[in-house]
Amino acid sequence: MPDHQQHILLVGAGLAGSLLSIYLARRGYAVDVYERRPDMRLAHMSAGRSINLALSKRGIHALDEVGLLDAIMDIAIPMRGRMIHGENSSLTFQPYGKDDSEVIYSVSRGDLNRKLMDLAESHTHVRIHFQQRCDGMDFAKRAVHFTDEETGASYMRSEDTVIATDGAGSPVRQSMEATPRFNFSQEFLEHGYKELSIPPGRDGGFQLEKHALHIWPRHSFMLIALPNPDGSFTCTLFLQQEGDPGFSSLDTPAGVRAFFEREFPDALALMPTLEDDFFSNPTGALGTIRCFPWHVGDAAALLGDACHAVVPFYGQGMNCAFEDCTVLNECLDEFGTDWHRVFAAYQERRKINADAIADLALENFIEMRDRVADPHFLLMKKVGLVLEEKFPEYFIPKYSMVTFHRTPYAVARRRGQIQQEILEELTRGIEKIEDVHFALAEQRISTRLRPYTEEAGSLR
């Protein structure tokens, strides 16, 4: 704990900012958090934005560290695998992990954020200031500019240490973009997304398997559905913006209905408000943001989507941001109040991994919308889980390294590529798991992969 209480200013009380304020408060810092939106615990959330999230190992670890895990588990729904809805309305279940301990959890973004804010404010020295819009930062003066959205008044706050958790459109990062030699990229997919809904059944029950993430893979596009505690499912349609089919050509209620009748008849039967939802909810964009550096000396640092927004196809956006908090907290353990070293070490450990999960998430879009429907892909998935059982020190499937372990994302991506080659070799020309020549596998694995435990620490 610092000698005299140091103040820290956070920009943004979303998931990452709220969690970080708790980590910092537990270390003895006084934290002021400035948030653009009104307090979501008082105001009603707007439609089309209540996206649910897939909580997995890294997020669980962070929530456990701050003591919030049990409360979140009470409102989370385990999803044991993918339920694939084929073009003929067939159903195929693909487990995510090796057993029922390896599951991911559907949680509501709003519920999770509210509980994080409550816990943050239970600390005497954390204050969240709502409806305060950040307009950028002057790094030399360590001054953050704000506008009070209720009164319209502009003002500035100076603080020795500022951490921006202000999301993909981060005003603090935009101020960094104007500094010399700041590297930045924003790349958008040709696909957008639209949130839709399946209500609870008449008896209040779930109309699809509750403990699964549902996917309707259709090659160039897909529909997914995640369960909510009230028996409903939140659905998301991922589709190209232009072309046919595409959001731009789905411009009438009849056209939307005909598209769903053709592509997703089993889902359509459960979606009484499809046309209304489709035209009242916005079409969202899907982009990847990368930048470097992530900090300006000891004055300011970026965390979460502000420095590494990713597409949602690995379910890791929140989990990665939470892991940022865990790692920043470790750096505070190591370097105390030397914020320059803290920020530099945090950047060193996280940048390479944020780049890796951005790439993994882009790659997984192809897998989700196309390859999950391929029997050979399913066979490779099964073989991967068998290899994990037989050679646990060498082989953990890529999805498992990312989702059920805290293997650094960069290590998971590199080992995942090698493992993919091995899986392709072992299953070439083979249709059943019984035909796989597992005796060959050991030699291939041990010559091309270092033992997992030996490598795990090599990249933070």
- Residue number, 140 or 258, with CB nearest to its own copies: 140
Residue 434 DSSP label: G
**Under a CB-based contact definition with an 8 Å cutoff, are residues 54 and 317 in contact?**
no
Q: What's the min distance (Å) between Cβ of 58 and its own copies?
A: 28
Nearest-angstrom CA–CA distance, 315 and 317: 6
Phi and psi for 419 in degrees, rounded to 5?
-60, -35
From 70-78, 179-187, 269-277, 408-416, give the range in contact with its own copies by CB under 8 A. Answer: 179-187
How far, in whole angstroms, is CA 130 from its chain's centroid? 24
Q: 151, 90, 176: which is closest to 378 by C-alpha? A: 90
CA distances 402 to 314, 315, 456, Å, are 9, 10, 12
Q: What's the min distance (Å) between Cβ of 249 and its own copies?
A: 17
Q: What's the min distance (Å) between Cβ of 226 and its own copies?
A: 25
Residue 181 binds to its own copies (criterion: CB under 8 A): yes
Quick one: which of 258, 285, 366, 440 contacts its own copies (CB under 8 A)? 285
**Under a CB-based contact definition with an 8 Å cutoff, are residues 157 and 144 in contact?**
yes
Nearest-angstrom CA–CA distance, 440 and 195: 46
- Residue number, 69 or 189, with CB nearest to its own copies: 189
Q: What's the min distance (Å) between Cβ of 185 and its own copies?
A: 3
Nearest-angstrom CA–CA distance, 126 and 310: 29
Going residue by residue from 215 to 254, which x/- string records binding to its own copies, judged by CB under 8 A? --------------------------x-------------
Sign of CA dihedral 302, 305, 309, 313: positive
Going residue by residue from 123 to 162, which x/- string records binding to its own copies, judged by CB under 8 A? ----------------------------------------
- Residue number, 177 or 425, with CB nearest to its own copies: 177
- Residue number, 158 or 186, with CB nearest to its own copies: 186
Q: 195, 203, 227, 200: which is closest to 83 by C-alpha? A: 227
Going residue by residue from 182 to 221, which x/- string records binding to its own copies, judged by CB under 8 A? xxxxxxx---------------------------------
Binding interface with its own copies (CB under 8 A): 177, 180-188, 241, 285, 287
